[in-house]
Amino acid sequence: MLRKNNTSITFIRYLAAIILFCCFFYGCSLRKISLSDKVAYLGPPGSFTHLAAGKKFPAELLVFQNSIEDCFISVHSRNVQKAVVPLRNSIGGIVVPTQKALKEFADIKIEDSLELPISQNLMVIPGTNDIKKIYSHPQALRQSRHFIDSLYPAVPRIEYSSTSAAAKWVSEHPEEKGAAIANTEAAKLYKLKIIYTNIQEDKNNRTQFIIISSKK
Ligand SMILES: O=C(O)C(=O)C[C@]1(C(=O)O)C=C[C@@H](O)C=C1
């Protein structure tokens, strides 16, 4: 009788150990799933960086940030696993906020890169004919400088956080009679009409984008 009791106690102990073991692994796998697999990019949607991120990652993983620094902060604080940011353009040169953040965030590494051809377009709300200001990312304004200098020399140029942010702003402020320099995707998304295509000074304009992640 005593022997039978001992056997069932051992059995119960084994069972408890197995249950504890399974719970531990289940907990670990849950933690793994809840760690964000998301990838940040310089947005809003329709930016060149969005196009670059879409070449490397599925659309459902992409979340936009409003600045390059915010992309680095999201990786640093583990809100996302990776981020895509621009590094260098063949006309405009190094993208300063990226270079600065790479120096500042010692825990972040470059894990991959890709290069895209960049074609800039001037776009307005359909019906706008007297452009008062031209909005875009500093790199895009630099890439299109000759075009603006020759066609709109007196029109002020306003720097924006990205080409798509500029397109979005122009589309939401018809009273400003602004034009944006951005890509064809942004024109579609924000319902703007392209009035000049390929306005960058070098038809072979290219930008290198990097994928950053945490070193740990
Ligand atoms: O503004 C955008 O759409 C971006 O993705 C940024 C950026 C850049 O910083 O170089 C990317 C590609 C083009 O060269 C112009 C702007």
199-216 confidence digits (pLDDT tens): 999 989 999 999 999 998
In the prediction, which pLDDT does 73 show?
A: 98
Q: Is the CB–ligand 1 distance for residue 139 below 6 Å? A: yes
Q: 59 lies in a domain?
A: yes
Q: Do 128 and 24 belong together in one domain? A: no
Q: Do 129 and 112 belong together in one domain? A: no
Q: Residue 207 and residue 179: Cα distance in Å, rounded?
A: 23
Q: Is the CB–ligand 1 distance for residue 49 below 6 Å? A: yes
- Whether 35 shows a pLDDT value over 50: the answer reads no
Q: Is the CB–ligand 1 distance for residue 53 below 6 Å? A: no
Q: Do 112 and 157 belong together in one domain? A: no
Q: 82 lies in a domain?
A: yes
Per-chain mean pLDDT for the chain: 91
Query: Given the CA of residue 116, which atom of ligand 1 is nearest to it?
Result: 12
5 band by pLDDT with thresholds 50, 70 and 90: low
Q: Residue 181 and residue 49: Cα distance in Å, rounded?
A: 15
Q: Do 72 and 106 belong together in one domain? A: yes
Q: Is the CB–ligand 1 distance for residue 118 below 6 Å? A: yes
Q: How many folded domains does the chain comprise?
A: 3
Q: Is the CB–ligand 1 distance for residue 168 below 6 Å? A: no
- Whether 28 shows a pLDDT value over 70: the answer reads no
Q: 201 lies in a domain?
A: no
Please give the distance, rounded to the nearest whole angstrom, from the Cα atom of residue 15 to the centre of ligand 1.
59
Can you give the residue range of the structural domain that contains 100? Answer: 39-118+206-214
Q: Do 99 and 57 belong together in one domain? A: yes
Query: Given the CA of residue 163, which atom of ligand 1 is nearest to it?
Result: 1
Q: Is the CB–ligand 1 distance for residue 44 below 6 Å? A: no
Q: 46 lies in a domain?
A: yes
Q: Is the CB–ligand 1 distance for residue 205 below 6 Å? A: no
| pLDDT tens, position by position, 138-197 | 999 999 999 999 999 999 999 999 999 999 999 999 999 999 999 999 999 999 999 999
33 band by pLDDT with thresholds 50, 70 and 90: very low
Q: Residue 66 and residue 45: Cα distance in Å, rounded?
A: 10
